Structure 1
Amino acid sequence: MDLKRKSSSLTDVGGTSSEKRLKIQEPSGEEFEPDSFISAISSNDVKLITKELYLLKKVCEFFYGNLSLSEDEIYSITKEIISILANMCHLSVLACVEIRDKNTTLIRLYLYFLSKKEQLPVKTAILRLIGNLCELKETAQIIALNHVLLEKVVNCLKLEDQKAGEQALRILRLLSKRSQLSKSVLRTNGCLYIAKNLVKNKNNKIGIFQTQPEILQTFCNLFKFHPQLVAKQFSEYSEFVQLCLQLLLKYPNGSTNKLESQWIELILRCVRCSQELRSVLGETSINKILELKENKEKLTDIHCRFLCSFLEDSYFRRHMRIEEWDLGNSALNKILERVEPYQEIPEQTKFKLIPNIKIQITIFESLCSLQHDESLEFVIRVSFL
């Protein structure tokens, strides 16, 4: 196993010319050199790394014990030390393992600083360190299993500070990639707070679906492992649900924007698997879909899939066949119109009909739920009109 990591973006922790290297001497006569420290943490030598960390600890104890520092200065030094640790974890797997072995002490440190309302730079540095630990499976597990710590991380999504929010989101995204750890994000209502973070302080609300691919990636990772839990947490944030509906109404035939297109697919899948989400959307969403001019002649594929999801619930099945609608325009009738009769397909065009075959498969799967009530009789009656 390669014990070194390539650095893409490290916090600048100094660096001087060979002629003027900084040396710090503490009372015992031992010298601490930042340059040699940086070289050591990039190596595979556990003894060398441990030695340099020991020297750094003694230097810090010396400064804290002999200097009259203000609280802000102490926080500033603490922030730099945390940044050094974060860089070490980024460069070396060995450093992550060493930090894992000091887990109890560091967890207390994380909780202390993440609980404080002030000192955002220190909090951001802590989040960055935790994120770097989440890159490695063994150390990510320590973070995921600590529910209190993960709650503090999720709460950082509420902060107005953009950098802290980005680092908190990175932690959740890294945990969401691993099937064994992803549920820890949902236990802390991670999806709900990520959605709130996505929407907050945005003037053009519908425009949120064109930006921040890392949020979409996090949701997709979580949905892959826990679809119903993800959709349920979406349902608890009504403003986000209405924005999702607006996106579906805006693009009845799909969007040319790749991110928006992926959002539409995720939304359709969430609606399909969650009764709670369908309840929040309600009859109003069905009516709005049917009222669109694009659906007057024939339902679009996207809206047909959306309406098919509501056939899962007896209440919505009744609404979708109600006689108050013109019989030819009821939601269920519109769905049935998409079941086109079989005909001979020219060889050169058959692959173009694959999307149509997919939507018909969706319809047939959804119609299986009609056997539970009189909706099946309605289908038979409509079929012979």
Structure 2
Amino acid sequence: MTILNVALGQRSYDILVEEGLLDRAADHLAGFARDGRLIVVSDETVWAAQGERLSRGLGPVQAAPIILPPGEASKSWATLAHLVDRLLALGVERRDHIVAFGGGVIGDLAGFAAAIVNRGCGFVQIPTSLLAQVDSSVGGKTAINVPAGKNLVGAFHQPSLVLIDPTVLATLDARQLRAGYAEIVKYALIEDAPLFAWLEENGPALLGGEPGLLHHAIAAAVAGKARIVAEDERETLGRRALLNLGHTFGHALEAETGYSDRLLHGEAVAAGIVCAFQFSVERRLCPSADAERVQAHLAATGLPTRLGDIGIAADGRRLVAHMMHDKKREGGRLPFILTRGIGQAFVDMSVELEEVEHFLDRRA
């Protein structure tokens, strides 16, 4: 077992990474149960694939499931209201812990509901997608989408524990696995050049499901995020903003595709990372060889790296208009995560949006 800690004083918590954790869930979750029951929030797809396994792993602890529709469309006011009503009907109390058992959508919804029900109760993350395991389950960001943009309504609410079992990924299709892999690459590109070199060598076998490689990559990515979150929990110092490498461009692409399955979040991040590197090259910040290396690796894994791969024909002005709904906007300016090379990301507040428009026009 790999045990990582997010050091946040009284809000500190552990992240456990081990094959088979789901089958021994009671060992780690029994202490969170009240009267022998745990409320588990999941979606139809995950519960059908893994619900029975979790229930067996909980042993004497009874799972009280709340099952929601799958997909990004569920991150809405309507689904949040439905979830809160169900939680209250089940008699959830402030000292209870809600278990988020699913991908990033379920983690966001269950975490946000836990933040607001009874003015806040506890929750535990059991992420079941690679993207959620390496990214959204750690750090306490919870949110829903609204017409104005993605993740614009939410709360920082840290979990009490995160259980990561790489074996649950066996039920993921190849596309979902690739989408999660993009976030692992992101962590390497932020500040871990040796990890990127390791991914170049081991990525294909990792995506083929090799357990030891998956465990290593998950633990490395989570350790990177835990370190950054501990330094800047609420993204007030600029340090945590580095985790948005590829996201400013990527969220604009997601908005253009209607936050639909046409473009998964990790796919948008992959294309956004390439944009960030290429934009950095144009600004003479980053060696072109590094940008080419990043694009080649992501493309080799089957991830989109060009706007044409996504089928987007929108011009730069339209995509930048989507960016203006970014919640990280400050004084009308957007922080762009640019790079001086692999493992050398930094925050740049000096970027003129007209410059971004012209850059995107040349890549439409």
The answer to whether TM tops 0.5 is: no
Which structure: greater strand fraction?
2
Greater RCO between the two (CA within 8 Å, min separation 6)? Answer: 2
Which structure: greater helix fraction?
1
TM-score, normalised via structure 2 length: 0.28
TM-score, normalised via structure 1 length: 0.27
